[in-house]
Amino acid sequence: MLDKPSENEEEYIARMEFEKKKKAEMGKQNKLDQEEKKRLKELHFMKCPKCGMELIEIDYRGTKIDECSQCRGVWLDAGELAAISKFEKSALDKFFSIFDKQEA
């Protein structure tokens, strides 16, 4: 039985080395992504997605919405459209309930 390092073993070591380097590289990229995300957020925070001007937070029936100071576009955060829709729906329901009462 010969006791020499097999090619498989060398290949295994090389592969391990590659995986280790790949992992380190991915970690670096992930960190870059985080920094880029942070940079972009700082750059775009409260800026109009259309014209890039400042957004102004206004209170629309208890829901905070952002309106562009330049093009008057309106930006809604997650859940705000639903909140406004709910309000509009209840307003519509109230409106139609007037007719229901008249029919009754």
Residue 73 one-letter amino acid: G
Q: Which of 78, 46, 76 is nearest to 61 (CA)?
A: 76
Q: What DSSP character marks residue 70?
A: T
Shortest distance (Å) from residue 45 CB to Zn ion = 14
Q: Name which position in 70, 85, 90, 97 contacts Zn ion (CB under 5 A).
A: 70
Q: What DSSP character marks residue 73?
A: -
Pick the stretch among 11-19, 21-29, 30-38, 42-50 that binds Zn ion (CB under 5 A). Answer: 42-50
Task: Give whichever of 40 and 46 is closer to Zn ion, judged by the CB atom.
Answer: 46
**Does the protein bind Zn ion through residue 46 (CB under 5 A)?**
no
CA angle 77, 85, 50 (to 5 degrees): 40
| Binding-site ranges for Zn ion (CB under 5 A) | 48, 50-51, 68, 70-71, 73
